[in-house]
Amino acid sequence: MAPRKLAAGNWKMNGDLAALDQIDALARDHAAPGCDVLICPPAVLIHPMAARVSGLADTIAVGGQDCHAAASGAHTGDISAVQLKDAGASHVILGHSERRTDHGETDAEVTAKAAAAHRAGLVAIICVGESEAQRDAGETLDVIAAQLAGSIPEGATARNTVIAYEPIWAIGTGRTPTNDQIAEVHQLMRDRLTARFADGDQMSLLYGGSVKPGNAAEIFAIAHVNGALVGGASLKASDFGPIVSALGAA
């Protein structure tokens, strides 16, 4: 079985209730997309977005952008995977570089959060990616291999885990790696996942970092790129829709 194709939008700390209209536009203009479609809005929008998509014929999944490793408890400001699931989420992004940087998240914490997501029945989208200094120093493959080894819990399967490669220097910058650079990292990820997990050959591998309508088709043609994790271009259906269509056609 080939890995599932997934077009995932990460709204980050953007959007409000009025922005939910983008979901209607996406569903209207990109029906039967030929791939899985996911939007991860800010936590306060998860439940209303889930309600909004529940009536759609072509399902748009809804996800969180982080979760706590515990199911409940005295953790002011945090949200558990169980609560995300209860609100209507099916996925959760974990270990995004903005969380690793802004909140000091370690590989071990990402692993614990992913295990919590799995226990709650969520698909964990685990992010890895090198900084520009690491790439310049020729450390990219070592960094990615170490993050993969350290950030994925033992119970990971192709059904409950997606891996996203997001070079930090490509996020929100309009810069992307060359196709060869993306191919090199995705091949490494495929090799490491296949060596470690029984169905690692079927895990979906996403590329993220300045994916736009204009470069999506080219990126989706790269071996072992099974979709995208899209930031800025996921906020408007007029940008995200063509990316979804490009993935469906890939």
Ligand X SMILES: O=C(CO)COP(=O)(O)O
Q: Least distance to ligand X from the beta carbon of 189, Å?
A: 16
Q: Read out DSSP for the chain? A: -PPPPEEEEE-TT---GGGGHHHHHHHHHS-S-SSEEEEE--GGGHHHHHHHHTT-SS-EEEEES--BSSSSSS-TT--BHHHHHHHT-SEEEES-HHHHHHS---HHHHHHHHHHHHHHTPEEEEEE---HHHHHTT-HHHHHHHHHHHHS-TT--TTTEEEEE--GGGTTTS----HHHHHHHHHHHHHHHHHHSTTGGGSEEEEESS--HHHHHHHHTSTT--EEEESGGGSSHHHHHHHHHHHHH-
Q: Least distance to ligand X from the beta carbon of 229, Å?
A: 4
Catalytic site residue 224?
Answer: no
Identify any residues that bridge with 37 across adjacent strands, giving them in sequence order: 7, 60
Residues in binding contact with ligand X, number by CB under 6 A: 14
Taking Cα atoms as reference points, which of 228, 218, 232, 227 lies closest to residue 172? 232
Q: Least distance to ligand X from the beta carbon of 243, Å?
A: 10
Nearer to ligand X, 82 or 230 (CB): 230
Which region among 48-56, 66-74, 100-108, 225-233 touches ligand X (by CB under 6 A)? 225-233
Give yes or no for residue 229 binding ligand X (CB under 6 A).
yes
Give yes or no for residue 232 binding ligand X (CB under 6 A).
yes
Nearer to ligand X, 120 or 125 (CB): 125
Answer for which of 28, 121, 137, 172 binds ligand X (CB under 6 A) is: 172
Q: Restricting to residues 71-110, name those near ligand X by CB under 6 A.
A: 96
- Which of the following is catalytic: 68, 91, 96, 224? 96
Q: Least distance to ligand X from the beta carbon of 76, Å?
A: 26
Catalytic site residue 68?
Answer: no
Q: Restricting to residues 183-212, name those near ligand X by CB under 6 A.
A: 208-211
Give yes or no for residue 231 binding ligand X (CB under 6 A).
yes
Q: Judge contact between 236 and 213, C-beta under 8 A.
A: no
Nearer to ligand X, 82 or 168 (CB): 168
Give yes or no for residue 39 binding ligand X (CB under 6 A).
no
Per the annotation, binding residues for substrate are 10-12, 172, 210, 231-232
- Which residues are the active-site residues? 96, 166
Question: Which residues in this chain contact ligand X in the complex, by CB under 6 A?
Answer: 10, 96, 166, 171-172, 208-211, 229-233
